[in-house]
Structure 1
Amino acid sequence: MLSSRLSRASLLVAGLMLCASAWQAQAFETVIQVSPSALNIGSAGNVVTVHTEVPYGDVEVHSVYLNGVLIASSKADDRGNFVAKFDIDAIKTLNGLIIGGDNKLTLTGLTTYGEAFSGTDWVRVINILPRSR
C-alpha cells in the first residue's frame, strides 16, 4: 500500500515537472512596432528601432535579436516599455529581403526570469537612392 502511494506521488510530481518545463519552453507573444516602417536600402540611416509592450526591467537585454541580428542598444520608452535598437546596415543585408515587398521581422529574447518572448511586424523594403545636389 505504501509503495502504491509512493508510486502515485512520484507520477504526480513527474507530471507536474513535465507540465512546468513545457510551459517555460513556450514563448509569449508581444506586440512590436518596427521603425522605420519602410526600410530604404539606399538611405543613410543609422538604426532600426523596435518598440515592445514588455516592461524594460523584465528584459535580459543581451538575449534580444531581430531576425538573428544582435541588439545594438536599448532604452525604456515613456511608458517604461522595452525599446531595442539594431544596426540598420545589418538589417539591410539580411538574406532573403524582398525589395519592393513586405518583409517579416521577428524580435526574440528572454525575460530576466528566463521566459522567452517574441513579436513580429512587417516592413516594406525599398531601394531609392537619394538625389545628388
Structure 2
Amino acid sequence: MAEHPHAALVRKGYDAFSRGDMETLRGIMTSDCAQHVPGSSQISGDFKGVDNILAYYQQLFELTGGTMRAELRDVFVDGRGHAMSVHHLHAERGGKSYDAEGGIVFRIVGDKATDLDECIDDIGRSDAFWG
C-alpha cells in the first residue's frame, strides 16, 4: 500500500531539515505558513511566514554548531489535512547535550504545510538548554 501523501510530505520535510536543504523546505510550505514553538527560551514563539520559519531553522543550526538533529520516528495522518510526527531531538550547545522526544502537528492544504505546532516532552528542560 502506498504511503499517504501527507505522510510523504512530512518525511520529505524531515529529510530536508536533516540535510539543511532550505529550498526543499521552502517548497513544501505555504508562503504564509506558521510554526509555533513552545516554551519561553530564545527559540520559543510563533514564526509567521516561510522566511521566518527558515530563519528559525538556521538559528537552531547556528546555536548548536550544526549538531541539531531531529530523527523521525513515525508519522500519523487523519486523511483530512492533518499529520502528526513523532521524533527524537539531539543537540549540543555550550558543552551540554540535549536529547528529547517531541513531535509536530502539521496542517496541510493540497500539497503544502500551512501550520506547524511543535510539542516537546519537557518544556522546562528545553528552556534550560536553549536559554
Give the alignment's TM-score, normalised by structure 2.
Answer: 0.28
Q: Relative CO higher for 1 or 2, CA cutoff 8 Å, sep ≥ 6?
A: 1
TM-score by length of 1: 0.27
Q: Which has the larger radius of gyration?
A: 1
